[in-house]
Structure 1
């Protein structure tokens, strides 16, 4: 398995958010700008790992759909994420029914709201 640059700090936040965009926003609003950017960086790094082969072999074809799938997997936490890394065939083909449970983008919203600018980090 590749060495993914995600910390226990990052996964603890994802776990606390429990697939709730609103809960993640509540957590991140108390963070410094640097912490919000760090969270976004780790999220993007983890997500990008799933946006290439062999994972894309099991996903829908659209680029947006693949991003959503990867972001959804990260949003589901550390155990699920590493299970998918080990077994690419378990990645969902599509997550269009679950997009409200994707935590990607919240860090940007909070950073913009609190500091007047986005994190500048995107997939």
Structure 2
């Protein structure tokens, strides 16, 4: 199933299929994402980071947090993990918040958050500044 055929509510339109395509290509592998982002211009790396942060932020409030562990770090890890799994999984959680995992302890190596900052630091000597 391609990303364009996966439907999110209209108020999620700021998270583009371009972004989801990059996530899909990475296949939950930080090194693959790093290679992909390293080939991009700075503006695109920043755009990717902004959309990642926006997609995760959508999950950091009710009703999703009703099912998550209560720590702020835990909520961030869970939301970043959900985004890292791709658009289909993300859409499933958006449409069925009750499927939100309580914790992702032990699964954090598959979280793609932070890779854009690493790439920016390597290429440009500064992080994205988008958190």
TM category (shorter chain) comes to over 0.9
Q: Which runs of 5+ in 1 are unaligned?
A: none
Equivalent of residue 48 in structure 1, options 48, 57, 61: 57
What is the aligned residue count? 122
Please report how far the alpha carbon of residue 97 of structure 1 lies from its aligned counterpart in structure 2 after TM superposition: 1.2
Counterpart for residue 70 of structure 2: 61
Please report how far the alpha carbon of residue 120 of structure 1 lies from its aligned counterpart in structure 2 after TM superposition: 0.5
The two structures, once aligned, show a CA RMSD in angstroms of: 0.7
Where does 1:14-93 land on structure 2 (aligned, <5 Å)? 14-93=23-102
Distance in 1 (alpha carbons) for counterparts of 2:68 and 2:17? 28
Question: Is 2:111 the partner of 1:102?
Answer: yes
Q: Which runs of 5+ in 2 are unaligned?
A: 1-8
Counterpart for residue 13 of structure 1: 22
Question: Is 2:118 the partner of 1:114?
Answer: no
Distance in 2 (alpha carbons) for counterparts of 1:95 and 1:2? 28
